Chain A
Amino acid sequence: MSLDLTCDEFERGPRLSGHVVVCWGGTDSFSMLDRLVELGATEDAVIALISPDVWSWAPTCGAALDAVGIVRVEGRPDDRATLLKSGVAEARGVLVPLHVVAGDDAGGSGLGASDAAVLRTALAVRSVNPHVPVYAEVASENARRFLSFAGVRDIVSCEMMGARALSQAMLEHGVTAVYAELLESTGHTCEPYTVAVPESLRHMKFGALAEMGAARGLAIVGVVNSEDKITLNPGADAHLGEGDRLQVLGADIEHIRQALKGISDET
């Protein structure tokens, strides 16, 4: 999808809906843009990138961004007016990568400047659209509780995740390749999905269902309850409760539903 929006159109605010908004425009933002394009975010919508210095780098890579369907919105993402221009009110999701602030000291139990910028952005997004899912990256694990208070559910701490990934690579040689495969977004990949348990399978125990899934190319790895609490590897004897969903690794949601239907027909 190619876009050719003028400054005037930006001033009025492009009419966007069902799109993903990416905030700030640092290195992490560009990395996320790559992933989103690989995952097909620009196939039926655009991606709105909000950055305070959007025009400073536009001459060099602006055309390339336009060519893949990335709309650039100038302004600070923690500013309501800018968020409105980016169409947050009708977005499907907002990504808030870490905005690294020079000289940041995130030590102790407080909130560093970089994490504070993420928090301000999340709060501004919430004030414009309280229902849009916000996906936030924080530098320090300490910032998680502040973001949680702001109503952000999906928070990833680079510090914690990095430490865990490095430790697991040391303790379980080769595990990096498994994560690379799970997180790969092109080619033959499997992603995590949650899917409702068909009525006809609710009587089954987790182990029996997982075993039948394995025969159909599904890795059923956990249960998500009605309060969105995830339990990975709950045990073969675990019962599936009312409102439970399955956490599955599969090629796509349609394949998963078909496989579950196949299990349902067989039982």
Chain B
Amino acid sequence: MAYDDVCLKRHILLLGWTDKGKEIVDNLHSPDVVDPRQIVIVTDRPVVLDPSKEECRGVVVVPGDASDKNVLRMANAERASGAIVLAESGTTGVTHSLMCVLALRSISSDIYIVAEVDEEADKCHFQALGGVVNEVVCPGEYVSKILAQGAMFPGSGVVDFYTHLLGQTSESNEIYLLEVPPQILGLTYPEAYPVIVAAADQSVSPIGFIRLDASGELEVVISPGAHGSEELSHQLVESDRIVLISQTRPVFGGV
């Protein structure tokens, strides 16, 4: 048996450990996840997981500083598919997260990195690194925006809507971004809508699409046509993505 057969690969790294850690493990190993990956937690903090939980099976903890390249190599970071960098509390939290990201990127050029920040103002530090970080998430920003929307539009169901999308039950739905199936290439969104619904292997609710705008930037278009007819007449191309809501990642028949 070769080394390649036994070493960690295509796994997801969880760098750092906070109260969110257990929830993340549960989510990444949820029965809804089509292609679950092994999780490797790299932290110098104590990690306590419930060994009786199915979601915790196969989770590995590598003790050490997640910004240390040697520790990351012990976690076989160069072969990992993705990494979540958790924001640990304390005044050096952001700096430490930045060091983790830079160390990780120096080891692997194609690993998908999602970084958490506690303060919205700290997003700029990660964005300043250019493409080093793929996505930056500030949970506090989500919370304040959701609650403010809720207060401004009472009875609009805003909080329920997001709680369901970001909630954790077997019946919850999530947002998925799917490649444009060949049978709807060249169609407008209203024309494509019934084809998507009919071709999916489960109930789906399309909500829009993502396209490249004139300057080559990604543009997310939700409820196309809500702000004018131009979006409704956009003909879907291969580089676009369909945005939809469903319980698990759908597969289109015949694709």
User: Once the chains bind, are B154 and A35 in contact (CB under 8 Å)?
Assistant: no
A residues less than 8 Å from B114 (CB atoms): 166, 169-170, 176
User: Once the chains bind, are A178 and B175 in contact (CB under 8 Å)?
Assistant: yes
A residues less than 8 Å from B224 (CB atoms): 214, 217
Interface 0/1 of B114-149, CB less than 8 Å to A? 101001100000000000001111011111111111
- Answer whether residue B66 sits at the interface, using C-beta atoms and an 8 A cutoff: no
B→A interface (CB under 8 Å): 12, 19-21, 23-24, 26-28, 33, 82, 84, 86, 112, 114, 116, 119-120, 134-137, 139-168, 173-177, 189-190, 193-194, 197, 203-208, 210, 218, 220, 222-227, 231-232, 241, 243, 245-247, 249
- Complex CA gap A171/B81 in Å reads 11
- Complex CA gap A185/B9 in Å reads 41
User: Once the chains bind, are A39 and B149 in contact (CB under 8 Å)?
Assistant: yes
- Answer whether residue A76 sits at the interface, using C-beta atoms and an 8 A cutoff: no
User: Once the chains bind, are A251 and B226 in contact (CB under 8 Å)?
Assistant: yes
Give 29 pairs: A residue, B residue, CB < 8 Å, sorted on A. A31-B144, A35-B148, A41-B148, A93-B150, A95-B148, A156-B162, A159-B20, A159-B23, A161-B142, A161-B146, A162-B116, A162-B139, A166-B137, A166-B139, A169-B84, A169-B135, A169-B137, A170-B28, A178-B243, A180-B220, A191-B158, A193-B156, A211-B193, A217-B224, A217-B225, A222-B161, A224-B160, A236-B197, A251-B227
- Answer whether residue A201 sits at the interface, using C-beta atoms and an 8 A cutoff: no
- Complex CA gap A251/B222 in Å reads 10
User: Once the chains bind, are A162 and B20 in contact (CB under 8 Å)?
Assistant: yes
Question: Closest Cβ of chain A: how far from B24's Cβ, in Å?
Answer: 5
A161 touching B205 in the complex, CB below 8 Å, given contacts A207-B197, A211-B193:
no
Question: Closest Cβ of chain B: how far from A203's Cβ, in Å?
Answer: 19
B residues less than 8 Å from A101 (CB atoms): none
User: Once the chains bind, are B163 and A156 in contact (CB under 8 Å)?
Assistant: yes
- Answer whether residue A163 sits at the interface, using C-beta atoms and an 8 A cutoff: yes
Within 8 A of B (CB), among A1-16: none
Interface of B, helix, strand, loop or mixed by DSSP: mixed
Question: Closest Cβ of chain B: how far from A175's Cβ, in Å?
Answer: 5
A39 touching B148 in the complex, CB below 8 Å, given contacts A161-B166, A169-B135, A170-B84:
yes
Which stretch in A66-74, A78-86, A226-234 binds the other chain?
A226-234
Query: Contact check: which of A36, A93, A232 meets B245 at CB < 8 Å?
Result: A232
User: Once the chains bind, are B27 and A164 in contact (CB under 8 Å)?
Assistant: yes
B residues less than 8 Å from A39 (CB atoms): 148-149, 152
A158 touching B139 in the complex, CB below 8 Å, given contacts A31-B120, A32-B144:
yes
